[in-house]
Chains A and B, each alone.
Chain A
Amino acid sequence: MKKEEAKKLVSNALAQGRHVLLEPEAKALVSAWGIQVPNSVRIKEIEDVAVALKAVTPPLVLKVVSQDIIHKRDVGGVITGIDDREELSKALREMKETLAEKAPAARIEGFLVEKMVPTGIELIIGGVRDPQFGPAVMFGTGGFAVELVKDVSFRLAPLSRAEVFEMMREVKSYPLLTGFRGSKPVDLEKLASTVLKLSKILLEIEAIKEIEINPLLVCDVGAVAVDARVVLQ
């Protein structure tokens, strides 16, 4: 997707009165700026399963797509480790049932069938638009307990590459990135580029109030946006 098309996703969402981009939209947006996202396809019904498997090869993860659900995991909206068509169909049925029970009022816009990313280091990168200081970018240790662990660093955008490196060094999990107990060091230059891309998005699209990639999974294939969230003004 080109940047111009991605910007349209934002204006369309606003036109529909939505203040949050759907996960597939958010990922399309970050990917338009060159941030790596997993291969995926959006489906609606069981009948779409065969088509999905032609587009994405297992192992797969299935995620609900809904503007009303902020924390997908909490309502059973994420199922991982799906290896074939049968498992995918079963997962979809199960997810629909759980959602009907745990989030009955949520509007379901479909389901995302996504290539599972190999395990790696979970980071978070994000940005907010501060009323006084303008766009600010965050880098830190990712995962679902981010707010608990609070191992993050902020800088005002626009950022220099040197500032991105300062942010990386300020978080406690930095040694994980440079090689910890025999693990392979990650490509810090590439990771820094990903942060700079996110900063660019925040600077170029005024309508964005909050943007976040969590987790940003750093693994053999690079720094991949496993989940992305974009909140509009």
Chain B
Amino acid sequence: MTTGRDISFFFSPKSIAVVGASPTPGKHSHVILENLKRIGYPGATYLVNPNYASIDGSKCYSSLNAIQDEIDVALFVLPAPIVIEIMERTENVKGAIIVSAGFKETGYAGTKLEEELKKIGERKGIRIIGPNCLGIYDSVSRIDTFFTPEERVRRPKRGGLSILTQSGSFAELIMDEMASKDIGVARIVSYGNRVDVGETDCLNFLMDDEATKVVVIYMESVDDGRRFVEVASRCTKKKPVVVVKVGKREAGVHAARSHTGAISGRYEIYKAAFKKAGIVEVDGFEGLKDACKVLNTYELVDGKKVLIVTDGGGVGVSMADACENFGLEVRKLTEETRKRLSSKLLGFSATGNPIDLTGSVTDEDYVVALEEGLRDAFDVVIVTVLWGAPEITEGLADKLKEVRDSYNKPILICSPSCAFTRRMAQCFEDNGMPVFFTPESAARAAAVLAGHWR
């Protein structure tokens, strides 16, 4: 890529200026200042507001140009027309994050302002994130430009997940969700109206970003279709990219004169693009949560054969149904394996796939079932644990972990039920095994690993 498209400085800024800084608690710009402090942003923070000499004991500058320093990132929290005025005058800014709303999303006048903003950015060589966005949350470089108070939307710990989104509300939702699930996040970028920086430039950066292990994209539309496919294709060779596409009903070819044109809604073409690029598509918010959870622990697998081990017949069958629905293959065990299993397990256990260990199960039965079942070359395993079976213990988590590590196969736990079960789920989570609370969500997550989501 040309250096002109490089946006890495946004994720390691030596200086951040908050333009429109306010001393009033609760104001967006004040929340941002507090968040930058709380996360411990290590660079220089400059406050800009001609109406104050200082805010909270820090010097306040009358303008960006009054700062005797190169500003890597200028954060704009001001009415749209004023943003344009300041951008026009500024001389020392490399990148801008424009939090302000009042642009294209508001209609004709706003659209004109946005066009002007784009031109200014291009003319001055200032890269722009936004407008109408939350900007960047970065646990690696310790940046938090979100104007949401931390006590209302919790921030996730540092980890390998990076999230790109047009929607700010989505950024908040997933952020809070990841924090509550204790899933670590590297970088979140909310680019709103996307006048300049979008998913393609971000992906181009995240592709070689060592802190990022998995990329998640919430997409309403694509910024630059062909280039996105090209960049994403390279990225998916290095790390998984998961996408949630919303706005699926958008019509395709306008006034089509062929069946092909009439059938090809935009979504069909998006789907084709995701396939081309090797992107794993998930459906909706639930799908995304499951994907984040499973990819936080496991890498993608090469096939779609799933082994199901359960201690409840009904849940096992519904698990098998869910797996088939999500495009996984629930293949029967070989005759040889079945024979070996029958000789090692209680007489009334079912030795197909699912392997049903019944309510008389012990911790050791799970181990036997897995060790024998895995001889049949499965790609991914779902273990259903219903805690109603009286003989299983907390020690099960350790045992399953051992099997997983020695066979090197991803094991997903499905443990549907309430209070006691939820408490026991912690044993698995502590052992680094993701727990899902419905057969559908476990199957969906396994399908993500198999990359065979439809």
Contact = CB atoms under 8 A, between A and B. Distances in A.
Interface of A: 19-20, 70, 124, 126-128, 130-134, 136, 138, 146-147, 150, 152, 154-156, 163, 166, 209-212, 214, 229, 231
A212 B260 contact: yes
A210 B263 CA distance: 12
Nearest to A170: B454
Nearest to B277: A156
A167 B169 CA distance: 36
Contact of B259 (A133, A147, A163): A147
A132 B222 contact: yes
Contacts of A70: 257
Contacts, number: 92
Contacts of A154: 264, 268-269, 271-272
Contacts of A166: 275
A106 to B, nearest CB: 15
Interface string B224-242: 1110010000000000000
B276 A138 contact: no
Residue from A134, A154, A166, A229 having most chain B Cβ neighbours under 10 A: A154
A126 B257 CA distance: 12
Contacts of A231: 256-258, 261
Which residue among B229, B266, B268 has the maximum number of chain A CB atoms within 10 Å of its CB?
A: B268
B256 A210 contact: yes
A20 B261 CA distance: 13
A199 to B, nearest CB: 12
A136 to B, nearest CB: 5
Q: How large is the interface on B (under 10, 10 to 19, 20 to 34, 35 or more residues)?
A: 20 to 34
B252 interface: yes
Given A152-B263, A156-B269, A209-B253, 10 more contacts: A126-B258, A128-B252, A130-B225, A133-B272, A133-B273, A138-B263, A146-B263, A154-B272, A155-B276, A166-B275
Contacts of B268: 136, 138, 152, 154
B230 to A, nearest CB: 11
28 contacts: A70-B257, A126-B259, A126-B260, A128-B253, A128-B260, A128-B261, A128-B264, A130-B252, A132-B225, A133-B222, A133-B225, A133-B270, A133-B272, A134-B226, A138-B260, A138-B263, A146-B263, A147-B263, A150-B263, A152-B263, A154-B264, A154-B271, A155-B272, A209-B261, A210-B253, A210-B258, A211-B258, A229-B257
